[in-house]
């Protein structure tokens, strides 16, 4: 069996930055075990399998539509091409105030005595958002050592499946100003740190829009690879997240 496969770096215009993901094109349905074997072979945070809904569809035919709709296990995902990247149409998830006492052990384990300004929780995504003190800057967040190895041992954290650390931006302090910064950790699902995370920004967008009073924002995820995202909240309660993409590998998988 030979399958076309690609590796694309998302939320960047440069190779070896942003979020690397494998994309495998399927003419026919594979069983779940084969999906898992291919994903393990690729050894990336995400491996997507794209299968035609209709036998007459063609992967080689040029798409004439500006928007593509993917039917995924998490629901419909719409993507449209922009002049300078790709725009993802995603739901917007609110984050509610979180009792600090309930998560103090988790936060202490993750970041020690780092000063925390706000804590929110998104029940829809099971993500805990921790805003660091405004006294810190981008370099502090980038260099912060986060103890993800011990997070799985913290008791009473069953509702958390992702930890977002975020920091207010420095509009006057960068050549390319950003409204906020973030990092994302999900050891509960096997990801120590994700390079760039679209789903985390469905929560971050809601939070920072309220905090900053803005509908359009620029964000930077401060992983070692780094990723830039342009965010626009829509009147229908959804959010457009735009980023670049660079295909760095194109080949054939033999199984």
For the question of residue 46 being annotated catalytic, the response is: yes
Give φ, ψ of 154 to 5 degrees. Answer: -75, 130
Helices (H), 44-126: 100-111
For the range 26-33, what are the long-range contacts, defined as Cβ-Cβ under 8 Å and sequence gap of 24 or more?
Answer: 26/50, 26/51, 26/52, 27/51, 27/52
β partners of residue 10: 19, 245
Euclidean distance between CA atoms 90 and 238, whole angstroms: 6
- Pull the structure tokens for residue 208: 């920072």
Residue 252 · residue 7 · CB < 8 Å: no
Question: Which residue is catalytic, options 32, 41, 46, 158?
Answer: 46
Euclidean distance between CA atoms 37 and 24, whole angstroms: 12
Q: Active-site positions?
A: 46
């Amino acid at each position: 069996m030979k399958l076309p496969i690609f590796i694309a770096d998302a939320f960047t215009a440069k190779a070896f930055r942003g979020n690397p993901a494998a994309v495998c094109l399927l003419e026919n349905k594979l069983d779940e075990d084969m999906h898992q074997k291919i994903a393990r072979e690729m050894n990336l945070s995400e491996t997507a399998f794209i299968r035609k809904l209709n036998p007459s569809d063609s992967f080689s035919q040029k798409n004439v539509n500006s928007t593509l709709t993917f039917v995924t296990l998490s629901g419909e995902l719409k993507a449209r091409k922009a002049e300078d990247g790709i725009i993802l149409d995603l739901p917007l998830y609110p984050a509610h105030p979180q009792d600090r006492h309930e998560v103090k052990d988790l936060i202490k384990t993750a970041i020690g005595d780092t000063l925390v300004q706000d804590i929110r929780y998104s029940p829809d995504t099971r993500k805990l958002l921790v805003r660091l003190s405004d006294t810190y800057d981008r370099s502090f967040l980038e260099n912060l050592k986060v103890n993800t190895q011990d997070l799985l041992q913290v008791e009473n954290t069953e509702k958390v499946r992702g930890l977002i650390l975020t920091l207010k931006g420095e509009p006057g302090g960068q050549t390319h100003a950003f409204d906020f910064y973030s990092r994302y950790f999900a050891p509960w699902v096997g990801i120590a740190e994700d390079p760039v995370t679209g789903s985390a920004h469905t929560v971050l967008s809601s939070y920072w829009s309220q905090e900053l009073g803005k509908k359009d924002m620029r964000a930077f995820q401060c992983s070692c690879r780094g990723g830039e995202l342009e965010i626009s909240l829509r009147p229908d309660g959804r959010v457009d997240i735009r980023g670049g993409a660079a295909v760095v590998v194109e080949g054939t998988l033999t199984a």
